[in-house]
Amino acid sequence: MMWKRFLCPLCQRIRIITHNVGYLAPFASRRHASSKSSDGQIDMSQFPVENIRNFSIIAHVDHGKSTLADRLLELTGTISQEASNKQVLDKLQVERERGITVKAQTASMFHQYQGKTYLLNLIDTPGHVDFNYEVSRSLAACQGVLLLVDANQGVQAQTVANFYLAFESELAIIPVINKIDLKQADVESTEEQMRRLFDFKEEDFFKISAKLGLNCREILDAVIQRIPPPKSDPNQPWKALLFDSTYNHYRGAVTSVAVVDGRVRQGDRISSAHTQKTYEVQEVGIMSPDHQATQELHAGQVGYLIAGMKSIQEARIGDTLHLSNSPVEPLPGFKPAKPMVFGGIFPMDQSEYRDLKVAVDRLTLNDSSVTVAKDSSPALGLGFRLGFLGLLHMEVFNQRLEQEYNATAIVTTPSVPCKARLSSDKLIKQYKTEEITIFSPAEFPERRDVTEYLEPMVLGTIITPDVHLNRIFSLCEAKRGEQVDFTYIDTSRVLLKYKLPLNEIVVDFYDQLKSITSGYASFDYEDHSYEPAELVKLDVLLNGQAISELSTIVHKDKAYPVGKALASKLKNVIPRQLYEVIIQAALGGRVIARETVKAYKKNVLAKCYGGDISRKMKLLKRQAEGKKRMKKIGNVDVPKDAFISVLKR
């Protein structure tokens, strides 16, 4: 094990850390000797409200949030400077594999400024639009943000969206231009764009390289100078906002809390304003960046709290916690997330339904933007209908279910919720309303029973160098878009706004936009209500049997190309089987596309003559494992990933 020494900013003593486990446990008691209570924990009472700053780093995807978070944690001695600590706040396996942040993470650090020690709570947020709910929730625990922009790419669509999130929450915003070390960095025009769009002044800017650590120390001072302390009152009864939760197998919900007023400590009896249930606090502490128990959490501080909450219903994000004997006015909480894409999720085998339910419950505790309702399907049995903020969100959720909860599930073809105005008296009576929302193609009413269908629209923002404009115009037209704004944000970059049907952009619009602009355009969207549209249901049949889980709702003008593409994709994902598989796409009973998967008898032991039984067992085992990832629908084995993959390019 390798050790490293450095000067601790809190106690001004030499501290020792290891490369891979952070602080070395046997030496832990030496840390902050001056600031610790008798049991060796950090004494949180030494940080009055005026010495606390709570802030987030917000930016477009890949502009360097997690890298800057690393530098700030290193500069304050919270983590070591070794390679093992790269992007320490991206803790999930899915984040490391995909190289993106999907979950906001909190880290507390200590910084010396003008002779005083400040407690800085940093929240690193995701950049991708599908995880925007994480950003808006994190901002509720902050008084300021660092708005980071990559000097090579300039202002991008999520920069604009995130700026307005912070601006509307009345937070202090510090503009930071990052990656100034890059040869292609255009610091001047990035600054011009930010000044023009967001009205910053020349003296507001920090120009840094988060990768090299250039000018990063100044940011710590600026956080103290420019971001106000929380508006908290230590003399009021304890009240805290529950802004995040994770599930721990042994301890139940580990909640992230922003303490608004008062103080909480281990053993206190607390209550949830939402459920009225009471609990005894088992542990409180800060994330630095891992859990570090403390004796108390005080007004203005951000930390974690464990109180034996067992389920998602108990640890509701946005809830207000208070001392049981001092009821308080609940905090406003959060606007519920608005799911944009729905997908069914089913166990591979019905005997795994309960396990899947537990896994979905625990993961939704950590990802409260997912909505859950029970669902059932003729082919797949009992399952759930989940609402996601986008397709990437749906894929990440599915991957996390597998990686973190060991739950293998089938996710059906994603769909966006359309509406239908009913004309049939029978249906109006059945639904007890004249306008219904259709969450899955199975619920799609016949044309003769409706006066009109409506589809969800979004207002999309595209920022692009102007050389790509013509190709973007063609793409948006092909996606039935309508341009509503066109503004130059500097001499060569344009901000476009388009009204677009959500159904057209949800699957591959972003990939196409990236590909036609060589990655230079960025895209963000917000909800823009519903508009009438001529929609049809495209059925998919396997060997003559309609498979509702594969059917999809499309605009009538798109039915033929989508049907053809669906059939040919399915041909590529359905493996050859003992008999021929006929794939058909049909519109109102009329077949519009057809493909065939030829029969193929795979005897894995065919070439395995004679003797070696262990080799035979191995081959059979491998074949059985392949089958496990298949679902028999009708008489056809369909790979579990077929439902999402047929929609992708």
What is the CB neighbour count within 10 angstroms for residue 610? 5
User: Distance (Å, rounded) from C-alpha 445 to C-alpha 437?
Assistant: 11
Q: Is there a contact between 522 and 462 (Cβ–Cβ < 8 Å)?
A: yes
Place of tokens 């699957």: 507
Compare residues 101 and 522 and give the one whose CB is closer to ligand GTP.
101
What is the nearest approach in angstroms of ligand GTP to the Cβ of residue 87?
Answer: 6
What is the nearest approach in angstroms of ligand GTP to the Cβ of residue 67?
Answer: 3
User: Distance (Å, rounded) from C-alpha 138 to C-alpha 579?
Assistant: 54
Decide: is 292 part of the binding site for ligand GTP (CB under 6 A).
no
Residue 523: DSSP 8-state? E
Compare residues 390 and 481 and give the one whose CB is closer to ligand GTP.
390
What is the nearest approach in angstroms of ligand GTP to the Cβ of residue 343?
Answer: 23
Decide: is 81 part of the binding site for ligand GTP (CB under 6 A).
no
Residue 52: DSSP 8-state? E
User: Distance (Å, rounded) from C-alpha 78 to C-alpha 620?
Assistant: 51
Position among 211, 357, 447, 555 found at the interface with ligand GTP (CB under 6 A): 211
406 known ligand binder: no
Position among 41, 76, 101, 159 found at the interface with ligand GTP (CB under 6 A): 101
Decide: is 63 part of the binding site for ligand GTP (CB under 6 A).
yes
Q: Is there a contact between 216 and 210 (Cβ–Cβ < 8 Å)?
A: yes
Place of tokens 């029973």: 449
Q: Are strands 252-261 and 239-248 parallel, antiparallel or unpaired?
A: antiparallel
Residue 335: DSSP 8-state? P
What is the nearest approach in angstroms of ligand GTP to the Cβ of residue 622?
Answer: 36
Q: What are 617's two structure tokens?
A: 């067992």
- Which parts of 111-150 interact with ligand GTP (CB under 6 A)? 126-127
Compare residues 210 and 559 and give the one whose CB is closer to ligand GTP.
210
Q: Which of 437, 432, 343, 336 is nearest to 387 (CA)?
A: 343
User: Distance (Å, rounded) from C-alpha 505 to C-alpha 206?
Assistant: 35
337 known ligand binder: no
Position among 51, 54, 56, 67 found at the interface with ligand GTP (CB under 6 A): 67
What is the nearest approach in angstroms of ligand GTP to the Cβ of residue 9?
Answer: 23
State the DSSP H helix or E strand holding residue 358, giving kind and residue range, or none if neither: helix 353-366
What is the nearest approach in angstroms of ligand GTP to the Cβ of residue 172?
Answer: 20
Compare residues 63 and 263 and give the one whose CB is closer to ligand GTP.
63
User: Distance (Å, rounded) from C-alpha 129 to C-alpha 159?
Assistant: 10
279: left (phi over 0), alpha (psi -120 to 50) or beta: beta
Name the one range near ligand GTP by CB under 6 A: 54-62, 76-84, 370-378, 528-536: 54-62
User: Distance (Å, rounded) from C-alpha 144 to C-alpha 122?
Assistant: 10
As a residue count, the chain comes to 649
Burial of 276 (0-12, 13-18, 19+ CB in 10 A): exposed
Residue 24: DSSP 8-state? -
Decide: is 181 part of the binding site for ligand GTP (CB under 6 A).
yes
136 known ligand binder: no
Compare residues 124 and 549 and give the one whose CB is closer to ligand GTP.
124
What is the nearest approach in angstroms of ligand GTP to the Cβ of residue 123?
Answer: 12
Decide: is 441 part of the binding site for ligand GTP (CB under 6 A).
no
Decide: is 587 part of the binding site for ligand GTP (CB under 6 A).
no
267 known ligand binder: no
User: Distance (Å, rounded) from C-alpha 207 to C-alpha 186?
Assistant: 11
274 known ligand binder: no
What is the nearest approach in angstroms of ligand GTP to the Cβ of residue 55?
Answer: 15
What is the nearest approach in angstroms of ligand GTP to the Cβ of residue 439?
Answer: 30
Position among 8, 61, 194, 418 found at the interface with ligand GTP (CB under 6 A): 61
Compare residues 129 and 420 and give the one whose CB is closer to ligand GTP.
129
291 known ligand binder: no
Query: What residue type is 91 in one-letter code?
Result: K
Decide: is 100 part of the binding site for ligand GTP (CB under 6 A).
yes
Name the one range near ligand GTP by CB under 6 A: 174-182, 288-296, 489-497, 499-507: 174-182
State the DSSP H helix or E strand holding residue 160, giving kind and residue range, or none if neither: helix 157-168
Name the one range near ligand GTP by CB under 6 A: 30-38, 206-214, 332-340, 534-542: 206-214
- Within 8 A by CB and 6+ apart from 120, the residues are 52, 53, 54, 55, 72, 76, 108, 109, 110, 111, 220, 223, 224
Compare residues 453 and 525 and give the one whose CB is closer to ligand GTP.
525
Position among 16, 49, 140, 182 found at the interface with ligand GTP (CB under 6 A): 182
Extract the annotated binding site for GTP: 59-66, 124-128, 178-181
Q: Which residues bind ligand GTP (CB under 6 A)?
A: 59, 61-67, 87, 100-101, 126-127, 178-179, 181-182, 209-211
